[in-house]
Structure 1
Amino acid sequence: MSADRFPLDRAADSGAGVWQVSVRGIHPVPAASCGRLIYVTDGSAAVESIAGLWVLKRGRAAWLPANLIAHLVARTGAIVAALPLELPVDRQPGPVVVTALLRALVTRLVADADTGLAPTPDGPLHAVLADELNRLPGASDLTPTPADPRLRTLAARLLQSDGLRLTLAAAGREVGMSPRNLSRLVRRETGISFGRWRQKLHVSAAITPLSQGEPVSAVAYAIGYESPSAFISMFRRVTEMTPSEYVDHLRGVPPRPRRPSLRTSVATTLAAALPAALTDWGEWLAFVT
């Protein structure tokens, strides 16, 4: 891994390194013969590939398997580490839950890279890192990834804190398209409507911070929702689970039994009592007649 920080647009021959983004925009991440852990050490970036689109803030990570071509959508000044691993890692591409051990390993490897002491991608620290990656749950991506560069740019825009307030017409102006043409393009590229696509983007962006223990309210406000309840309702519509249920699912925790609603409880009680009530009513009718 290179000990130098360098602009992504000059990283054509390297799939690993510590990159400092010099120009805001979309930057290619060169393919590599081994898997890489992408870790944002400062700023924020979105990692986009054929496998999905994942938003990473400072201290968050995503896994890219070998030979997967990706792009970074980042702001000026973002610093992103790509740590190569030539050891077997059995996981799908996507966000990684950053534990204390994983953060310590990445911090050490990045520091070694800065001082020119980076070990080989199959060294002892990398072995521990690979073992931790194999142990950790993934954060499945739900967002269809468009191939059109205008939609990739728009996806990053919709994930900003005010992206929820963008109408279809306003979103079209962001990429120089009419509302009708944008709607058609989104459906052709993703198979879903513009509104549904934005909801899935928000769910995908929320999975990593939620899995790392951030409160639902903080995640909801960061994405742009006016209340946690509105965010939870949207999350449930997309995943058919609440945020906490979804995180438990990622961690392999058995689903907890849900407390039945008042309507369900009343209906169950009536259904159980009705046969007996009908029997009593029949006996009373037989008696009076």
Structure 2
Amino acid sequence: MPFYHPSENEIGSPGRGTFSLEDVPRAVVAGGAAIVTKGIELAVHSHRKAQLLLTVRGIITCEADKGVWIVPPRCAVWIPGNLPHSMTAAGEVEVYWLFVEPDAASALPRQCCTLSISPLLEHLLLHVTEMPVLYDIDGADGRIATVLLDQLSRAPVDKLNFPMPADTKLRKIAAALMADPSDRATMDEWSQRTSIAPRTLARILQRETGMSFGRWRQQLHILFALRRLTQGASVQAVAVELGYEGASAFVTMFRKAMGKPPARYLAERQIDS
């Protein structure tokens, strides 16, 4: 796994102290790590530079921009500069990160999103992790960085987030669903639990997330399923954990939402060791 270890004279005058990614005077800077953990969490923080997180193995979850974002293999989460965010990971995780200067990312999304990463884009990113931190802007490495940013701006956006509403009572529903995604209570039942009229609940949810209640909960199920399937759980086990009557009902839901069944979706995102 490549790491960068810049010396003091690479990033400034001797004795200036701890290295900071914010100090690197280049359009991009990248690195990576492979860890096995029972659970790791990075508290809410932000960067001046925009950030891309690419997972090769395992799943990273990021909370940012009024939503929870999941990053399965061969996907990446794009986090614009100065956007507060937190991250969690568990299990065997291999992740690469890319920091991009704001003026070099004008064609990239201005909101947090997940991006589908092509094999070409993946190889470009991995190559950048092996380049000198202060690469030659006018040389081959500089041209690689330019191609990387061009390809990144063309990456398709995947809808792998669970919108978090601002409304207090809706956030309680979101927290309850995240704690127990198998809860199949209808919107009318949630209305009774929260003392909100069904029409009011539907209107607020649509306004704040752009989704109906059923679509909102389905999105959470997709994220939960991706996490569990990547951890090695069977389709049958995931279907039971989400409260479906059987695997076929779960697979049908997944195919309608993602355009392909879960086994195919994950197989297309597997990366050879």
Q: TM-score, normalised by structure 1?
A: 0.51
Query: For residues 142-153 of structure 1, what are the structure 2 equivalents within 5 Å?
Result: 143-146=162-165
Alignment match, 1:95: 114
The sequence identity of aligned pairs, in percent, is 23
Match of 2:71 among 37, 45, 56: 56
For residues 12-31 of structure 1, the aligned pairs below 5 Å read 18=32, 24-28=39-43, 30-31=45-46
For residues 173-229 of structure 1, the C-alpha deviation after alignment (integer angstroms, 9 at most, x for no partner) is xxxxxx946999xx69x837976543122346789xxxxxxxxxx996685364355
Could you say if the C-alpha distance between residues 24 and 230 of structure 1 is closer, same or farther in structure 2, counting changes exceeding 3 Å? Answer: closer
Q: Distance in 1 between matches of 2:195 and 2:41?
A: 20
TM-aligned CA distance change 1:138 to 1:60, over 3 Å: closer
Counterpart position of 2:4: 3
Listed as ranges, the matches of 1:156-175 within 5 Å are 163=181, 165-166=182-183
Alignment correspondent of 1:118: 133
Supply the distance in 1 between the matched residues of 2:156 and 2:123 (Cα, whole angstroms): 18
- Judging changes above 3 Å, is the alpha-carbon distance between structure 1 residues 220 and 124 closer, same or farther for their aligned structure 2 residues? farther
Alignment of 1:189-208 (within 5 A): 191=205, 197-203=216-222
Partner SS state of residue 4, structure 2: coil
1:227 partnered with 2:247 = yes
Q: Structure 2 vs 1, CA of residues 221 and 38 (structure 1 numbering), >3 Å: closer, same or farther?
A: farther
Give the match for residue 271 of structure 1: none
Is 1:129 aligned to 2:130, yes or no? no
RMSD: 4.7
- Hey, which of these two has a bigger chunk of strand by percent? 2
Computing the radius of gyration from Cα coordinates, the structure with the larger value is 1
Structure 1: state its 5+ residue gaps: 5-10, 169-178, 208-217, 237-241, 246-289
Q: Deviations over 1:218-272 (max 9, x none)?
A: 9966853643554434775xxxxx6439xxxxxxxxxxxxxxxxxxxxxxxxxxx
How is 1:264-279 mapped onto 2 (pairs within 5 angstroms)?
A: none
Using the size of structure 2 for normalisation, the TM-score is 0.53
Once residues 234 and 112 of structure 2 are traced to their aligned partners in structure 1, the CA distance between those partners, rounded to angstroms, is 23
Aligned amino acid, residue 163 of structure 2: P
Q: CA deviation at 1:49?
A: 0.5
- Tell me the equivalent position of 2:128: 109
**Distance in 1 between the 2:3 and 2:153 partners?**
25
CA distance in 1, matches of 2:177, 2:55: 19
